[in-house]
């Protein structure tokens, strides 16, 4: 089966700028996800970003960046708060660490009637923990999830950024999602919260059973990914990559995961495509590179 009718995919949460040693780069995990979906998908897929930016140069540039990637900015509000930024420090291996500015525009997502209409039409949405660090934004994100149609994919890409998460945020997100993606550093945190123990594969199965998840993906950096879907699990060893930085690689994997689930591709195909796209993003500087067709095709 291929995607024929219009499919609507939404990135929900933070829009910000990664302040890298080489200069500012557009980012934020849900925004990276949205851009990657637009890069990987057919013209029949409409991609929206639901967030907030400031009435400043970075806000205007963020909207321009999204639109350059074919991501619609119709549902991005502009506030008097500054557009989000994060200081990014890279290790010798290209691994990123982050220091986030506080009380920025994406901390002030507010509900509007137009979001109800979008929620009921959305086929897949991706959200994480960071976008919920403020009460206002968390309320908007959770309401959007609750107003979606039952058949929609509600993808919780955990994306833990200390200290901006809590047991409550993780629990509420798990309860409202039907697809889970997390990395090998996040799995122990989530498993401990849930009182689970065992091998990585066992933990994925336990999480899927407890929260009635359609799919659970565990990304492992250079060691590829585990993807559980129903009773089937695929273990992809990953692809070698000459790493420029790791920013956005996990978000690109999530984009491939979502499109594969929407298109009902095989579990192995979805996981292999996700690992291939993530490896390519690692070889580029910044989170939202253009993705060549030979990399993006299933």
Q: What is the DSSP string of 54-105?
A: ESSHHHHHHHHHHHHTTEE-TTEEEESSPPEEEEEEE-TT--EEEEEPSS-G
Mean pLDDT of 195-220: 98
Round to whole Å and give the CA distance between 73 and 76: 5
Mean pLDDT of 217-232: 96
Is 120 part of any domain?
Answer: yes
Could you tell me if residue 292 is inside a domain?
no
Per residue in 60-89, pLDDT tens?
Answer: 999 999 999 999 999 999 999 999 999 988
Residue 183: give the domain boundaries: 7-286
Residue 3 banded pLDDT, cuts 50, 70, 90: very low
Could you tell me if residue 102 is left (phi over 0), alpha (psi between -120 and 50 degrees) or otherwise beta?
Answer: beta
295 located within any domain: no
Quick one: pLDDT at residue 50?
Answer: 98
Residue 294 confidence (pLDDT): 74
Residue 49 reports pLDDT greater than 50: yes
Work out the pLDDT band at 4, boundaries 50, 70, 90: low
- 286: pLDDT strictly greater than 80: no
Q: Cα(129)–Cα(167) distance, rounded to whole angstroms?
A: 10
b/e sequence 167-178, b meaning 16+ C-beta within 10 Å? eebbebbbebbb
Partners of residue 229 on adjacent β-strands:
215, 232
- CB of 13 within 8 A of CB of 137? yes
| Alpha helices for the chain (secondary structure H) | 29-40, 57-68, 113-121, 135-146, 167-176, 186-194, 200-211, 249-262, 267-282, 293-296
pLDDT score, position 196: 98
pLDDT tens, 260-281?
999 999 999 999 999 999 999 9
H-run or E-run covering 227? strand 225-229
| pLDDT for the residue 230 | 94
How far is 172 from 181, CA to CA, in rounded Å?
15
- Asked if residue 16 is part of any domain, the answer here is yes
The Cα angle at residue 286 between residues 6 and 277, in degrees rounded to 5: 50
Q: Is the pTM here over 0.85, yes or no?
A: yes
Tens-place pLDDT, residues 97-123: 888 999 999 999 999 999 999 999 999
- Residue 291 counted as domain residue: no
**Closest listed residue to residue 234, CA positions, set 266, 281, 256, 280:** 266
The structural domain count of the chain equals: 1
Tokens of 151: 């058949």
Q: Phi and psi for 216 in degrees, rounded to 5? A: -135, 125
For the residues 220-227, what does the mean pLDDT come to? Answer: 96
Assigned domain for 227 exists: yes
Phi-psi region of 47 (alpha: psi -120 to 50; beta: other; left: phi over 0): beta
The mean of the pLDDT values for the chain is: 93
CATH code assigned at 148: 3.40.1190.20
Whether 294 is covered by a domain: the verdict is no
More confident residue, 99 or 11: 11
């Amino acid at each position: 089966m291929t995607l024929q009718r219009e499919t609507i995919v939404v990135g929900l949460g933070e829009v910000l700028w990664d302040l890298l040693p080489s200069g500012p780069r557009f980012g934020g995990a849900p925004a990276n996800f949205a851009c990657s979906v637009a890069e990987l998908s057919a013209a029949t897929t409409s991609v929206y970003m639901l967030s907030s930016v400031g009435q400043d140069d970075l806000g205007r540039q963020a909207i321009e960046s999204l639109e350059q990637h074919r991501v619609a900015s119709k549902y991005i509000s502009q506030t008097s708060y500054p557009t989000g930024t994060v200081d990014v420090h890279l290790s010798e291996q290209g691994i990123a660490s982050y220091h986030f500015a506080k009380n920025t525009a994406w901390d002030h997502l507010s509900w509007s009637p137009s979001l109800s209409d979008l929620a009921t039409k959305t086929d897949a949405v991706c959200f994480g923990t960071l976008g919920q660090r403020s009460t206002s934004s968390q309320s908007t994100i959770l309401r959007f999830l609750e107003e979606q149609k039952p058949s929609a994919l509600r993808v919780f890409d955990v994306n833990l950024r200390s200290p901006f998460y809590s047991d409550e945020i993780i629990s509420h997100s798990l309860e409202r999602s039907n697809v889970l993606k997390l990395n090998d550093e996040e799995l122990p945190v989530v498993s401990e919260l849930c009182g689970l123990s065992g091998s990585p594969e066992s933990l994925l199965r336990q999480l899927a059973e407890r929260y009635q998840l359609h799919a659970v993906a565990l990304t492992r950096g250079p060691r590829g990914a585990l993807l559980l879907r129903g009773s089937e699990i695929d273990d992809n060893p990953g692809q070698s990559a000459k790493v420029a930085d790791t920013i956005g690689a996990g978000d690109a994997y999530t984009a491939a995961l979502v499109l594969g689930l929407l298109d009902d591709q095989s579990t192995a195909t979805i996981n292999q495509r996700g690992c291939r796209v993530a490896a390519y993003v690692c070889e580029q500087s910044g989170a939202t590179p253009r993705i060549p067709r030979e990399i993006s095709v299933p």
